[in-house]
Amino acid sequence: MKALIIDDSRAMRSILRRIVTALDFETEEAGHGQEALDKLRDGELPDVCLVDWNMPVMDGYTFITEVRSNPDWRGMTLMMVTTESEQRQIVRALAAGAHEYVIKPFTPDAIAEKLEMLGLVGGAA
């Protein structure tokens, strides 16, 4: 399994990398949505993208709408990992095509549980 971690904070990418690496994911990283789109166009598609909302250049919501507008990327799982916790925004992200939503701060178990629910870790994959 491969995860693309998209967050403008290197420290947050480091935390997420350690969590998903422990779950046997290979990882790639991007500092904003546009960099992530460029990686998707250039390389092998990840199984899951962990996407922050508030980022410079291109935010996570725009990234999700861009990904969902490309039929070739339909199989990719999108999980928002963000401090954005207003109900209205959560609904908006899910309606745009995010599969799951995790609010910062989170525990490693919270990320693992969500990935398990999505069938990306454990026996369900």
Report in angstroms how near the CB of residue 80 gets to other proteins at its nearest: 12
Residue with smaller CB distance to other proteins, 53 or 73: 53
Checking 21-24 for CB contacts under 8 A at 24+ apart, the result is 22/108, 23/112, 23/115, 23/121, 24/121
Helix (H) or strand (E) holding 103: strand 100-103
Classify residue 109 by burial, with Cβ atoms within 10 Å: 0-12, 13-18, 19+.
Answer: exposed
Report in angstroms how near the CB of residue 111 gets to other proteins at its nearest: 12
Q: At what angle do helices 87-96 and 60-68 cross, to 10 degrees?
A: 30
Report in angstroms how near the CB of residue 48 gets to other proteins at its nearest: 21
Please count the CA atoms within 13 angstroms of the CA of 104 that sit on its side-chain side.
Answer: 17
Residue with smaller CB distance to other proteins, 45 or 113: 113
Structure tokens, 51: 């996407």
Report in angstroms how near the CB of residue 19 gets to other proteins at its nearest: 11
Task: Note the residues at the interface with other proteins (CB under 8 A).
Answer: 8-12, 14-15, 18, 54-56, 82-86, 88-89, 104-107
Residue with smaller CB distance to other proteins, 61 or 73: 61
Residue with smaller CB distance to other proteins, 84 or 100: 84
